[in-house]
Structure 1
């Protein structure tokens, strides 16, 4: 048992060394805050704009900062009224700042490929945002009241999360971070954690270290705890999002461990690759 305890402590130390804490930086005069990890912007948070003009200015600032996916969380009960979007004609485009906005109120409408793959919209009020300055980006879904509605829909989070990961692998993720209003750090983490974990597994593989479940728990917990320490009006992943998140990480960890077990160069219980074989 002493040897096992020492091995676990060493594994935890490896995970801790690899887990670079996310940083939250205030940008654009304090209206926006960027969540950075290893020098890359993974998410942007802001307070609720109170007028339509403020909303337009916010989108304009976000657009100038980077190509962003606009995702205004928890606005289903207040955001539409604030932004006066309910006055838009159904399924017609209107201009907000330099962006074009369209209202769709049909529940469970399949939007097709819009940068996140095929997704179902279950919310009663949904906006599409199209940026004419970036026509290749296509239409971006703006989903309202996502947390509350997703909790009782067991299939939507997994499908949406899988689509998120597909778009990330196509290189559309970190270059166009998700913008959240007044929180939504939980959605940022659902993108950040799998990518950070994938980097962690790749680095461990390069060093000849087989990541254990203990390693993985320490690494993921470190990132989530760092996000919690940021404080502010930020929402961490809810229970359903965490389950989806950890299920993805479990699958990635299983693939990583299978690769080690089938590697003829490995030796020892930790799966380390022999130095002479590297």
Structure 2
């Protein structure tokens, strides 16, 4: 004779600690289960965002007197690739489309086509770099690099995480002028860039004049006289002053130093400049 296997269909009641017989006391068992479910209910655990989808903007966006510097980006998809391919012939439109597709938010503000143009160029560069890293990873391979020191051609892998970034000490830039006084400028935004490149037939000099017309706040001469900036004032500056202003504006612009990237050629020890542009970062599109 074999012993019949017995199952103990009882469990402790959360109310008083007594055992509830599931088969013999169905009402009590139901109440106990409902009590357990109620005790375990609460706010769902927060799911952290992937670290590679968050980026700290070097300048940030001001909304309601609050500076927003955290941005969220996302990995691009095949659908995004199709959209980018349709605008690839227009570099400015490709940049705008890339930012609109790949940027989720700036702080708690959705990253829409009305918001992104207000970001400084350096912030937009930081977003582009973050979108690239979220989509393809941190490493970027180069198959043919010519060493400027020994002439050899070699391959290398660059970690995009090593690209340095800088912040501006102020939202305005002061540039001394050749004959005394100074120029006061603000840093250019995406909207300024769009205005500067709106005319595809314009020369570089005309592009520079457009940028100065928009970003030049005022001129202060050696005696302290202040002249508000304008298109005519920007065009009336001496060539040396214009070049100095534009050079310092680019050099001090907050953001990742994409154009200053360099790598070492292990064979000869020489440092090779490897400047990157948006087109370089998304060359596979």
TM-score (norm 2): 0.25
Q: Which has the higher strand share?
A: 2
Q: Which has the higher helix share?
A: 1
TM-score (norm 1): 0.25
Q: Which has the larger radius of gyration?
A: 2
